[in-house]
């Protein structure tokens, strides 16, 4: 039987397209290579005529797309002799930074908004041994503090303002192109700081400019209504949304994201919390894919824009599912409580419960 070479992470796979040397010590957990899943049921019912895929980034090692950027950011931090990394985070970046710092044998400091991150993400950062600092302020405040403290302490910032993060994250676009054998017509993402939408555009542009593909997608970014500075065209001082991962009012990649919008001919729009949670549930119930609320914003928005004809029939559409649903079980249980039934531990009761539902 012929064996395929073992997959050892995106830096090894895309070495030629990333800023690493032959002797660079790579810090990897096998990130990347995530499934691109074609949706079978949802397009037929809700967005007739589009060819719809989800890129399931929740299957990265720490359960989010952040790992693509973190492998490179931490690899470069080590190469430069850094002994500690720091980030502000709504949760996923902190989980990823903590894991890759542990892998590298260095210290991670993470600033998170008190009470506003999903429990799974908090558990990850704590278990991996990061110094977890809860602040009485939101992500935007944390980001400002991180930038200030990094001027006074020997720590490397691994938020997406670190250019290596975007370089790592651009590989998601490479994978999509390789699998579809073209770029999609539309690529929809949830937007917080707008690092990821900018990174994807870098990847699509690179493959286009190097003649690997002859088309580029229209890039579409969706934000939660209570945290939608791109739609409003101005920063939001008190962002609020159930999708805590994208509870951001002062995006760090503001200018980059507007360039993406202009160059790709795309747009930004908003989704209400209700639309986000409905899309999360729909995807789980109809397709068997469990993503976190923020991730579902991409699908919620794409379905709405497809129904409205803004995304035309016949389009090939990719939605990025940025994080795994298991990160945030609380929100699910609070939404689906009615599905949990308690019955006596007796055969009769079990049989009745089954037959009731089969009628
Ligand atoms: N989806 C999820 C699940 C996220 O965690 C984030 C960002 C985004 C989307 C938005 O990506 O910022 O590149 O536009 N989370 C950051 C964090 C802010 O700290 O984990 P973006």
pTM surpassing 0.95? yes
Signed CA dihedral, 14, 17, 19, 21: sign only: positive
Give pLDDT tens digits along the chain (359 positions).
Answer: 678 889 999 999 999 999 999 999 999 999 999 999 999 999 886 777 899 999 999 999 999 999 999 999 999 999 999 999 999 999 999 999 999 999 999 999 999 999 999 999 999 999 999 999 999 999 999 999 999 999 999 999 999 999 999 999 999 999 999 999 999 999 999 999 999 999 999 999 999 999 999 999 999 999 999 999 999 999 999 999 999 999 999 999 999 999 999 999 999 999 999 999 999 999 999 999 999 999 999 999 999 999 999 999 999 999 999 999 999 999 999 988 888 999 999 999 999 999 999 97
Candidates 63, 69, 79, 62; CA nearest to 25 is: 79
294 touches ligand 1 (CB under 6 Å): yes
Atom of ligand 1 lying closest to residue 252 CA: 12
Pocket test for ligand 1, best of 67, 162, 219, 245 (most atoms within 8 A of CB): 245
Candidates 14, 89, 107; CA nearest to 252 is: 89
pLDDT value of position 47: 74
What does the alpha-carbon distance between residue 140 and residue 136 come to, in Å, rounded to a whole number? 11
pLDDT value of position 46: 74
For residue 164, the CA-to-ligand 1 centroid distance in Å is 16
pLDDT value of position 219: 99
Pairing status of strand 36-38 against strand 156-157? unpaired
Burial class (CB in 10 A: 0-12, 13-18, 19+), 20: buried
Pocket test for ligand 1, best of 108, 167, 193, 247 (most atoms within 8 A of CB): 193
Q: Which two tokens mark 31?
A: 């990130």
Question: How many whole angstroms from its chain centre is CA 328?
Answer: 14
Query: For helices 195-209 and 254-264, what crossing angle results, to 10°?
Result: 40
For residue 193, the CA-to-ligand 1 centroid distance in Å is 7
60 touches ligand 1 (CB under 6 Å): no
Candidates 80, 114, 117, 77; CA nearest to 97 is: 77
For residue 353, the CA-to-ligand 1 centroid distance in Å is 41
Question: How many whole angstroms from its chain centre is CA 102?
Answer: 21
pLDDT value of position 45: 66
């Amino acid at each position: 039987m012929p064996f395929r070479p073992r997959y050892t992470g995106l830096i090894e796979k895309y070495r030629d397209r990333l800023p690493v040397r032959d002797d660079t010590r790579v810090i990897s957990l096998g990130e990347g290579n995530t499934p691109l899943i074609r949706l079978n049921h949802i397009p037929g019912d809700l967005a007739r005529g589009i060819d719809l895929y989800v890129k399931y980034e929740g299957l990265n090692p720490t359960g989010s797309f952040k790992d693509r950027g973190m492998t490179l950011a931490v690899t470069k931090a080590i190469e430069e002799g850094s002994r500690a990394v720091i980030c502000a985070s709504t949760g996923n970046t902190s989980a990823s930074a903590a894991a890759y710092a542990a892998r590298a044998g260095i210290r991670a400091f993470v600033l998170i908004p008190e009470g506003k991150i999903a429990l799974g993400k908090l558990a990850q950062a704590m278990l991996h041994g990061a110094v977890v600092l809860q602040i009485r302020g939101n992500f935007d405040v944390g980001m400002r503090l991180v930038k200030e403290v990094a001027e006074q302490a020997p720590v490397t910032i691994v938020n997406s303002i670190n250019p290596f993060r975007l370089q790592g994250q651009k590989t998601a676009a490479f994978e999509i192109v390789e699998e579809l054998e073209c770029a999609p017509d539309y690529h929809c993402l949830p937007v917080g700081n707008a690092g990821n939408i900018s990174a994807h555009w870098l990847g699509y542009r690179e493959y286009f400019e190097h003649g690997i593909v002859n088309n580029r997608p229209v890039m579409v970014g969706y934000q939660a209504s209570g945290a939608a500075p791109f739609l409003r065209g101005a920063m939001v001082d008190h962002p609020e949304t159930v999708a805590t991962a994208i509870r951001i009012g002062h995006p760090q990649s503001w200018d980059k994201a507007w360039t993406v919008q202009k160059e790709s001919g795309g747009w930004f729009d908003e989704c209400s919390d209700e639309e986000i949670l409905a899309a999360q549930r729909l995807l789980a119930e109809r397709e068997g894919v469990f993503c976190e609320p923020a991730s579902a914003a991409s699908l919620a928005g794409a379905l709405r824009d497809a129904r409205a004809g803004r995304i035309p029939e016949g389009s090939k559409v990719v939605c990025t599912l940025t994080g795994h649903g298991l990160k945030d079980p609380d929100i699910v249980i609070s939404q689906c409580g009615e599905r949990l039934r308690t019955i006596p531990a007796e055969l009769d009761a079990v049989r009745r419960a089954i037959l009731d539902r089969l009628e």
